[in-house]
């Protein structure tokens, strides 16, 4: 059977417990929102395929536990990540203030080329907001990251955030991708040939 994707990247969700990492991932991968909070134990992951510049990118998104006691386990996943989504909760200032700590861990353990974005989740809950959009934006700028306010509850900017970090990873790893795929034109030619071959194989199978 033809491969369902061209390249696989690993993304990591990082942030304090309760900021909504699992909910964001479920919203993105399954289109669902479950308001019950069951803390992630260690790590969990979901897969999703995105098509960017004609390349089928399979993303394996690792959802890490925000709780301190799992940090030894979760840190082992940093070095295998190409993209990081830092998440804080706009209704919880400490989760915003802790982004610096998450970022310094990444600095220590993740590959140099890792691509990062900052997301302020729960942006649907305006009455309880404790972190302004300007504060989020300023922090992201200080770290040289792109910034989104999002909501797993309403879907706002969920797909956009995950797609953007994947685009950044694809750009950063472009040379490696080209090495793996050949030039894009060659790759598309090969993909077209493969499609033709698959069609022929299918019609042969049907004729039997
Ligand atoms: N209003 C609102 N609540 C949200 C949103 N996303 C998550 N929540 C709530 O926040 C709580 C925690 O969400 P989780 O996704 O479990 O948090 P987490 O970051 O994965 O937590 P850990 O697994 O402990 O690290 C849940 O009770 C959700 O209902 C959102 O976008 N808006």
Distance CA 72, CA 75 (A): 6
Domain ranges of the chain: 7-180
Judge if the beta carbon of residue 26 lies within 6 A of ligand 1. no
Percent of the chain whose pLDDT exceeds 90: 65
The closest-lying atom of ligand 1 relative to the alpha carbon of residue 63 is 20
Strands 146-149 and 115-121, by their bridges, are parallel
Q: Using one digit for the tens of pLDDT, what is the confidence trace for 72-123?
A: 888 888 989 999 999 999 999 999 999 999 999 999 999 999 999 999 999 9
Distance CA 14, CA 83 (A): 11
pLDDT at 115: 97
**At residue 168, what are phi and psi to the nearest 5 degrees?**
-65, -40
pLDDT at 205: 37
Tell me the whole-structure pTM to 2 decimals: 0.86
Neighbouring CB atoms inside 10 A of 105's CB total 15
pLDDT value at 143 more than 90 = yes
CB 152 within 8 A of CB 181: no
Nearest CA to ligand 1 atom 29: 35
Q: Is 102 helix (H, G, I), strand (E, B) or coil?
A: helix
Q: Which residues pair with 59 in a beta bridge?
A: 9, 48
Judge if the beta carbon of residue 23 lies within 6 A of ligand 1. yes
Q: Using one digit for the tens of pLDDT, what is the confidence trace for 152-185?
A: 999 999 999 999 999 999 999 877 776 666 555 5
Judge if the beta carbon of residue 21 lies within 6 A of ligand 1. yes
What is the third-level CATH fold of 7-180?
Rossmann fold (3.40.50)
Nearest CA to ligand 1 atom 16: 37
What is the residue-averaged pLDDT of the chain? 87
**56 Cα to the center of ligand 1, angstroms:** 29
Nearest CA to ligand 1 atom 26: 37
**16 Cα to the center of ligand 1, angstroms:** 10
Judge if the beta carbon of residue 127 lies within 6 A of ligand 1. no
Q: Maximum distance among all alpha carbons in the chain?
A: 67
């Amino acid at each position: 059977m033809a491969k369902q994707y061209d390249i696989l990247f690993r993304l990591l969700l990082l942030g304090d417990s309760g900021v909504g990492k699992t909910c964001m991932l479920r919203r993105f991968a399954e289109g669902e929102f479950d308001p019950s909070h069951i803390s992630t134990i260690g790590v969990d992951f979901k897969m999703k395929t995105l098509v960017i510049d004609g390349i089928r990118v399979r993303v394996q998104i690792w959802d890490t536990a925000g709780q301190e006691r799992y940090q030894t386990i979760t840190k082992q996943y940093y070095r295998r990540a190409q993209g990081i989504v830092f998440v804080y909760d706009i209704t919880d200032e400490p989760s915003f203030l802790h982004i610096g700590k998450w970022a310094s861990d990444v600095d220590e353990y993740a590959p140099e080329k890792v691509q990062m974005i900052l997301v302020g989740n729960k942006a649907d809950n305006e009455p309880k907001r404790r972190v302004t959009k300007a504060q989020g934006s300023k922090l992201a700028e200080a770290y040289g990251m792109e910034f989104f306010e999002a909501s797993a509850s309403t879907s706002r900017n969920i797909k956009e955030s995950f797609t953007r970090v994947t685009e950044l990873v694809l750009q950063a790893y472009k040379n490696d991708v080209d090495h793996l795929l050949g030039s894009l034109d060659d790759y598309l030619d090969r993909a077209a040939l493969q499609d033709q071959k698959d069609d022929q194989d299918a019609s042969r199978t049907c004729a039997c």
